[in-house]
Amino acid sequence: MQLLNIKELRTGTKPALSMPYIQPEPKIFACTQSQALAEKIAKSFGAPIGKVITSKYSDGEFQPSFEESVRGSRVFIVGSTNPSSENLMEMLLMLDAAKRASARHITAVMPYFGWARQDRKDKPRVPIAAKLVAKMLEVAGATRIITMDLHADQIQGFFEKPVDHLFASTLFLPYLKSLNLENLTIASPDMGGSKRAYAYSKALESDVVICYKQREKANVISHMELIGEVTGKNVVLVDDMVDTAGTLTKAADLMMERGALSVRAITTHAILSGNAYERIENSKLAELIVTDSIPLKQQSDKIRVIGCADLFADVMQRVHTNTSISSKFLM
């Protein structure tokens, strides 16, 4: 005999069958400065890039608007936050818009996490901008952060939300191995990057040298000294970013003076401000290898760009399917 529940007895009707929950497809949106990279990521991910319209006012104020529903969806917002501050502001506004449009998961995909050099108080009465940016991203609505080669690993601790910190070594090491350089030596342009240089040297089974530098002020080096031997070596400088290229070019010139056969540099984020392009062209660097986390302002024969879209797309797919991403870390 079929049993009726209380509701059936009261109303005389059978309850409707509940529909199974269908998880919406993930959606990828781009901030203005990372449009080209986001399109490559979306293509590799296998999803169309979402439509965003940005309204601009005459005084410079702007308002991004999602032109499709994101309710209940997993949203990926791609945008590097290199200065100017408009890039960060656009990311914050898009996170807030997604939150208010009832997106289920909101991931800020930030190939380059800007303002990261201000990660501590190095003198009195200065801000810790990296911590401030982390809090703003969380308040705006980010439930997860995906970024690459933070200036300092400890910045992950500024967030209460999960941070997937990717390493560009996944991209650079295969290229370095393909060069088949003999007498290879890995170099760090400063003391702070020694850990990164050691990790590369371990993977490539090579020696390490370190440059010791003293800054007169921001972007101005007063003195540089070399710790280690580079005579007869093919040197590869390793750093997380290149801004004015002052450190890299000075280090390259110093190493060539000390008898190095060649000097290359790999840097994840090509900020390249001021007269950086001119410095690189006039330096003794054989090659500067970067990712496309930040679009280049101009082309140069000495600069080789290695795409990071496939790496980010793969990690985003793993995040969406709740799969481990630990296999993506080579160091």
CA 19 to chain centroid: 40
Structural Rg of the chain based on CA atoms? 24
> pLDDT of the chain along its 331 residues, tens only?
455 555 555 555 555 556 666 777 899 999 999 999 999 999 999 999 999 999 999 999 999 999 999 999 999 999 999 988 999 999 999 999 999 999 999 999 999 999 999 999 989 999 999 999 999 999 999 999 999 999 999 999 999 999 999 999 999 999 999 999 999 999 998 887 888 999 999 999 999 999 887 666 665 666 778 888 999 999 999 999 999 998 899 899 999 999 999 999 999 999 999 999 999 999 999 999 999 999 999 999 999 999 999 999 999 999 999 999 987 765 5
Which listed residue (40, 213, 233, 250) is catalytic? 213
With beta carbons less than 8 A apart as the criterion, state whether 325 and 305 touch. no
H runs (alpha helix) in the chain: 6-11, 35-45, 85-100, 129-140, 169-179, 194-204, 246-257, 276-282, 309-320
* CA distances, 88 to each of 24, 110, 176, 192, 211 (Å): 28, 10, 33, 26, 32
Question: Does the annotation mark 213 as catalytic?
Answer: yes
Query: Residue 48 carries which side chain, given as an amino acid letter?
Result: P
Q: Which of 96, 84, 67 is nearest to 33 (CA)?
A: 84
Rounded Cα gap, residues 207 and 211, in angstroms: 14
Rounded Cα gap, residues 55 and 58, in angstroms: 10
Q: Which of 60, 75, 50 is nearest to 316 (CA)?
A: 75
All residues at 6 or more sequence positions from 109 whose CB lies less than 8 Å from its CB, including other chains: 41, 76, 77, 78, 79, 146, 147, 312, 316
Strand duo 287-291 + 262-270: pairing: parallel
Q: What is the pLDDT of residues 223-272, one digit of tens each?
A: 778 888 999 999 999 999 999 998 899 899 999 999 999 999 999 999 99
Q: What is the pLDDT of residues 306-315, one digit of tens each?
A: 999 999 999 9
On the 0-12 / 13-18 / 19+ scale of CB atoms within 10 A, 27 is buried
At residue 44, the pLDDT reads 98
Helix (H, G, I), strand (E, B) or coil at 246: helix
